[in-house]
Each structure stands twice: as structure tokens, then as C-alpha cells.
Amino acid sequence: MYFWHRYVESLMHKRIFKIMARFNFIPLLLFSFIFSILVLSGCSVRKQHSLFNAPTDIVTDTIKQVYVVNDQGLGDIYYKIKINDQLAVRNVQNPEFGATSSSATSVSSNSQNGSAQNVLAYAVEPDGTVNLPAIGKVEVAGLTRREARNKIQDIYKSKLLKDPIIELTIVNLKVTLLGEFAKQGNFYLEKENTDLIEIIGEAGGISKAADPKTLKIIRGDRSHPEIIYVNLNDINSLASKKLILQNNDIIVLQQTKGQALSERLQSFNNIVQPLLVVINLATLIFALTR
């Protein structure tokens, strides 16, 4: 009797395994099919995750150094002061000079080490002048930082101070970093001719998931912008004058195709894994109840 019972039990186990094998190939084929689609669509997966996509982004697969779309020329390498700019003017010999002026406002800026700090700034008024302590209005619109500093310094020297040393910065000039950088956000252009590598350095470099061939700078008219593609793998890219940053540049860096695919597969696995468990459990229950 015992051996008969074992024989019947053995037959039942074999039947269950056959049924499970018959049903389990369905989720396996489903998983394989979806996995193949994800692998073949690696580019589209990354594109869905990237910001400000443009039809010309395909050049990143073949770009050697720097490639410019809708080239608007070099423009003003040295920024010229405009109405509504915020100027921080400081006398190095006497930093407190003019600090109580009613025309100055406190503006948040970032220091050389990237930390935030408040500085006193004077707005360029609609008539193109800036109202400074003791000397009054000085016309600065259309001047570079260096030209405005020299002009203000000369006026202070002729009217008030013996040998003034004036520092002038435009505290509202900034670029925006988005994507695979160690730090994202707004970074202020505190000196003339700040280039791309300096800003990347301030941001702490690029992330491990970044694709160095996909960096792009969006510049100028937002409805018809100039787009500058940069291959950071090639040292010769650094020679391009296009990498001197302009006010309101948007700098975007994408992740690698492998990283984008890995994230998609992880999301897919989080959904499919519980589903496979349910299917296998249902198959087992079906087999035992037959």
C-alpha cells in the first residue's frame, strides 16, 4: 500500500511539473519580447529622459569637437551692461564706503567657492545710468565691465578719493546647468570670459552616468535659439570661443544610453517581478485543483 501511494504521488508531481512548464513559457516569452523592445529602443529611452530635445540632437552620435546649429556668430565676447542689470561696486581701500546708500539693494550671489552670499547692488536705471554714493548718476549702459569700472574709478578719483581701487561685478548674469552634473541650478558669471569648463568645475564636474558627447548649450532667442554641441571627450573642443558663456545660457548634459536603459529595465522589473509571482502562483493552484 505504501509503495502504491508513493507511485501515485510521483505521478501527480510529474503532472504538475508538466502543467507548470506548459504555462510558464508564456510569461517567459512575454518578458523576452518586452526586453528585446527595450534594448532596441535605447536611444528613444534616453531621449524621453533628456531635456529640451531638438531635431539636431542626433549629431551627438558623430560629433568630434564642437558643432553649432543656427550659428549667430561670436557676439559680444565681453558682456556690455544693459538696463536693469545689477552692479556691485566696491572700493577695495574702503569696503564700507557707500554701504548705507538708499539706492543699493541686497542681491543674492554666489562666491568663488559656490556658496551663496548677499552683496549690495545698484540697478542700471531706464536712462542707462547707475546712481552711486557720493558721485551720483554715472552712465554705464553699453559699456563692458572693465570700461564701466575704469569710468567710475576715474570719477571717484576726480571728485572724492585720492587713489581709489574700484571693483565692479554684474551680479545678475547667470547660466543654468541641467542634467548629469554633480550640482544643477543657476551659476553666476562673476568675471568676464567665464568659459564652460570653469562652470563645470564650479558645479563639481559631471556625474558617473553622464555621456560626455551629449553636452549642449542653448543660447540666445528662445524661439529660435543657437545650439552648441560639445564633445567633452576631445581636448580640442576647449579651443572653441563658443564655449565662452553668455548670460542666460542653458547647459544640458544627458546620461549614457546604457544608464537610461538600465533605469528603464529597473522600472520594468519592479512591475514584472510581482506579476510573474502571481502568474506562477495561479499556475500552481490551477494544477493542484485539476
Does pTM surpass 0.75? Answer: no
- Spatial distance between the Cα atoms of 129 and 191, rounded to a whole number of angstroms: 21
Q: Is residue 81 part of a domain?
A: no
Q: What is the pLDDT of residue 101?
A: 46
Shared-domain flag, residues 147 and 194: no
Residue 22 reports pLDDT greater than 60: no
Domain closes at, from 131, 154, 170: 170
Residue 102 reports pLDDT greater than 50: no
The tens digit of pLDDT for each residue in 3-12 reads 444 544 454 4
- Spatial distance between the Cα atoms of 283 and 277, rounded to a whole number of angstroms: 10
Q: Is residue 196 part of a domain?
A: yes
Shared-domain flag, residues 61 and 203: yes
**Residue 36's domain spans which residues?**
2-42+258-289
What stretch of H or E contains 283? helix 257-289
Shared-domain flag, residues 13 and 146: no
Domain closes at, from 118, 147, 170: 170
Q: What is the pLDDT of residue 112?
A: 42
CA distances from 161 to 92, 122, 146, 158 (A): 12, 20, 19, 7
Residue 65, beta-bridge partner list: none
Instruction: Name the domain count of the chain.
Output: 3
Shared-domain flag, residues 26 and 37: yes
Q: Is residue 177 part of a domain?
A: yes
The tens digit of pLDDT for each residue in 184-233 reads 999 999 888 899 999 999 999 999 999 999 999 999 888 899 999 999 99
How many of the other CB atoms lie within 10 Å of CB of 122?
25
Shared-domain flag, residues 238 and 275: no
DSSP 126: T
Shared-domain flag, residues 115 and 145: yes
Long-range Cβ contact pairs of 99-103 (< 8 A, separation 24 or more): 100/133, 101/132, 101/133, 103/131, 103/132, 103/133
Q: Is residue 109 part of a domain?
A: yes
- Spatial distance between the Cα atoms of 120 and 135, rounded to a whole number of angstroms: 17
Q: Is residue 233 part of a domain?
A: yes
3-state secondary structure 91-114: ECCCCCCCCCCCCEEEEEEECCCC
Q: Is residue 137 part of a domain?
A: yes
Distance of CA 187 to the CA centre of its chain: 11
Shared-domain flag, residues 72 and 189: yes
Q: Where are the beta strands (DSSP E) in 112-195?
A: 116-123, 129-132, 136-139, 166-170, 174-179, 185-188
Q: What is the CATH number of the domain that holds 123?
A: 3.30.1950.10
